[in-house]
Amino acid sequence: MFCSFIDFSMKRVIAAGALLIAAAGCTESGGDGSAPPPPTGGPVGMSELEAVRFLSQATFGATQGDIDNLRAIGYEQWLLDEFAKPQESLLQSVLLVEASGAEAGRTELSETFWTRAILGDDQLRQRFGFALSQIIVASYADGALEDRPVAMANYMDIINAGAFGNFRQTLENVTYSPAMAIWLTYLQNQKADPDQGVVPDENYAREILQLFTIGLVDLQPNGDPVLVGGNPVETYDNGDITELAKVFTGLSWAEQTRFLGRPDDIRSEYLPLVMFDEEHSPEAKSFLGTTIPANTPGDQSIAIALDALFNHQNTAPFISRQLIQRMVTSNPSSAYVNRVATAFRSGSFTMPDGRVAGGAGRGDMRAVVAAILLDDEARDITFTSNAQYGKVREPVIRFAQWARAFDVTSTDVGNEELVRDTQTPNRLNQQAYRSPSVFNFYRPGYVQPGSESAAAGMVAPELQITTAASVTGYANFMTDFIFNDEGRTDFAPNYDTEVALAGDAAALVDHLNTLLAHGALNAATRTQIIDAVNAISSGSGSFSRDELRARLAVLFVMNSSDYIVQR
């Protein structure tokens, strides 16, 4: 059912050339409708296809080295190894640019992301951090943060730390971050002053409720809405927002002695905000059944409020469901959500081999990560034959996967304008940390109008940015990089393995099917790509026959619906 929209869009690109293959083979079940063969081989009984499928969910894409390592050590050890890897600071990269005398900007922010997504050794942190960044959103899509790369880089570090940290600490770090305070306009938020017509800014109070913690309606432990008389129950009302807004008053830049004004010290861009209690609302504050007594100091008021949101019954299922959507499947079962939310609540998850992920109490995200990726609905291959299973691969992930699969080793965005800004529809229609609004690139509950998935009661978040223009843009963007006609040295692929296989079209396509799509190409798509590759009997331009075959095969696979829908 995910395929119907994609097929329609792909037909608009057929006239452009190579994408004739893309739409033809898609079926509602994905693949040929039958389950892949049982796993064979591998020191721990893990097949190569299973390894690639896991890495497709857990990283920005598999390399052959990643596949071999995972098969050798197993899922559990791989996760524990990833949890143990140190975090590399994006902020430090930006500060080095500033220290050199140059002025950092969006180019440096773009490069710090792409470099770590493509070349970073801590792939699970990078991938899960990207997922978390789409729930707790701050963006440099406009001038407010585009002109503050230090603050934005610090925010990116906060989110990546939160990938393996505690969710309560992440809420605090986000609340005190200059980037979020600028983005949601509560920096130097003043207490009410009726004489001057001043009321506390409500932006952050609204979004921390609606988007970052509890959502709009009361939830059961499994994420299903609580119904009264057949209707959902609203979690909060405008009075709760007004009261909570008082909590987030009195925060301003660090490293300055006065509340208002802009600091001169660049450290203020990344140090946590400080509380000026004389500007903090002194009244009692009541929201969601929690009351903060009058004259409670500002930092203490914030701690009480964040504790209330963190411990709310909605937070575990609300956050867990969205993380599953970003990593595994857009329409997880209630049971799947409940299992992950249970790991969130306990902060501990016992993996299949008996070892424990997490263990640091409620909100330990290591437990959540492991629960998501090791759940039966993530690992049992038979789920892939269900038409309602899977998700559309985000454009950012597709490009990063291509770069990792084909050994891109240089990611200097300064030399490659196309990658500097990929948010437009004629490119990827998405760029990390440049969401157009606090609601992310797409909503978790987005339903594609008039689609089979909508008729089946399914959501398809990524289809909110999947349009005729973006599908064409993606195809053209990938063609540019896959072929690399201009001989760029940055973001340049290595196809030695694929060229060596190109004399045997079936072997080439099967290799790419494994490496990129973990065997998801259905029989019709596979046959059509093989036929198209075999039709290339000579070279063209600077490419030999086999070089041309390798590149076209990569393009065909990465534009096929079977690849674009991750199962």
Q: Tell me: the pLDDT tens digits for 320-337? A: 999 999 999 999 999 999
Q: How many CA atoms lie within 13 A of 161 on its CB side?
A: 16
Residue 487: predicted pLDDT: 85
Q: Which residues, in sequence order, are bridge partners of residue 519?
A: none
Distances (CA, A) of 192 to 113, 179, 281, 309, 520: 40, 23, 7, 23, 58
Bridging pattern class, strands 274-275 and 251-252: antiparallel
Q: Which residues, in sequence order, are bridge partners of residue 543?
A: 540
Distances (CA, A) of 185 to 101, 192, 197, 202, 547: 30, 16, 17, 9, 53
Are 491 and 481 spatial neighbours (Cβ–Cβ below 8 Å)?
Answer: yes
Burial of 296 (0-12, 13-18, 19+ CB in 10 A): buried
Query: CA-CA distance, 279 to 302, in Å (whole number)?
Result: 14
* Per-residue pLDDT reduced to its tens digit, 519-540: 999 999 999 999 999 999 999 9
* Per-residue pLDDT reduced to its tens digit, 182-231: 999 999 999 999 989 899 999 999 999 999 999 999 999 999 999 999 99
Alpha helices in 226-297 (DSSP H): 238-247
Residue 44: predicted pLDDT: 54
* Per-residue pLDDT reduced to its tens digit, 472-515: 999 999 999 999 988 889 999 999 999 999 999 999 999 999 99
Flag whether pLDDT at 112 surpasses 90: yes
Q: Which residues have CB under 8 Å from 23's CB, separation 6+?
A: 6, 7, 10, 11, 14, 561
Q: Which two tokens stand for residue 271?
A: 């140090």
Query: CA-CA distance, 416 to 356, in Å (whole number)?
Result: 43
SS3 label, residue 234: strand
Of 77 and 33, the one with more pLDDT: 77
Bridging pattern class, strands 356-358 and 290-292: unpaired
Q: Which two tokens stand for residue 414?
A: 């300064």
Q: Which residues, in sequence order, are bridge partners of residue 291?
A: 286
* Per-residue pLDDT reduced to its tens digit, 467-483: 999 999 999 999 999 99
Residue 34: predicted pLDDT: 36
Flag whether pLDDT at 175 surpasses 60: yes
Length of the chain: 567
SS3 label, residue 189: coil
Q: Which residues have CB under 8 Å from 143's CB, separation 6+?
A: none
Share of the chain above pLDDT 90, in %: 87
Q: Which two tokens stand for residue 120?
A: 């970073």
* Averaged pLDDT for residues 434-457: 95
Identity (one letter) of the amino acid at 191? K
With tokens 């299922």, the residue in question is 317
DSSP annotation of 177 reads -
Residue 32: predicted pLDDT: 40
Residue 21: predicted pLDDT: 40
pTM here is 0.93
Q: What are phi and psi of 494, to 5 degrees?
A: -120, 115
Residue 166: predicted pLDDT: 98
Of 506 and 24, the one with more pLDDT: 506
- Name the band, by pLDDT with cuts 50, 70 and 90, for residue 2: very low
Flag whether pLDDT at 24 surpasses 80: no
Q: Which of 42-51, 54-63, 194-203 has the lowest mean pLDDT?
A: 42-51
Closest CA to 33 of 451, 521, 563: 521
Q: Which two tokens stand for residue 380?
A: 């049992």
Residue 485: predicted pLDDT: 84
Q: Which residues have CB under 8 Å from 214's CB, separation 6+?
A: 235, 236, 288, 309, 312, 314, 315, 318
Closest CA to 357 of 155, 58, 149, 21: 58
